[in-house]
């Protein structure tokens, strides 16, 4: 099983690290977006199935993206990857439908158990 993946972060280095964290063979396509507005467009245009999402970005932040995904009923699995590790933020993103929350910087192997737990890998 492999997926169309979007990595949304305003940092190109963070996008590169997130891309490297994907399990081998997991993604058929990997797209990138540097803000939430771009992310919503890419999700719709490319039928994205898995989104790795930062919270702190210009134009539309990660919370706004999660709210927009919910509002539009987009079918995408979201894992938040953020430096904002406050417990209330983790609770908020989970309430908005994120599968899980990984603190930045993402490390190799951190994503695998989350994907396995949800039957994606």
- Give pLDDT tens digits for 25-34: 999 999 999 9
**Cα torsion 52, 14, 40, 94: sign:** positive
Percentage of residues of the chain with pLDDT beyond 70: 100
DSSP track, 15-83: HHHHHHHSPTT-EEEEEEESSHHHHHHHHHHHT--EEEE-SS-SSS-HHHHHHHHHHHT---EEEEEES
CB–CB of 76/50 below 8 Å?
yes
Cis peptide before 105 (omega within 30 of 0): yes
Q: What pLDDT sits at residue 84?
A: 81
**What pTM was estimated for this model as a whole?**
0.96
User: pLDDT tens digits, residue range 9-49?
Assistant: 999 999 999 999 999 999 999 999 999 999 999 999 999 99
* Protein fold of 3-117: Rossmann fold (3.40.50)
């Amino acid at each position: 099983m492999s997926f169309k993946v979007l990595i949304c972060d305003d940092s190109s280095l963070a996008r590169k690290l997130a891309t490297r964290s994907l399990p081998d063979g997991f993604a058929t396509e990997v797209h990138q977006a540097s803000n939430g507005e771009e992310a919503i467009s890419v999700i719709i245009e490319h039928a994205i199935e898995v989104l790795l999402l930062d919270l702190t970005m210009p134009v539309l932040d990660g919370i706004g993206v999660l709210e927009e995904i919910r509002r539009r009923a987009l079918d995408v699995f979201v894992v938040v990857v953020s430096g904002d590790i406050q417990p209330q933020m983790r609770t908020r993103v989970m309430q908005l439908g994120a599968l899980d929350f990984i603190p930045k910087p993402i490390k190799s192997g951190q994503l695998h158990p989350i994907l396995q737990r949800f039957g994606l890998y």
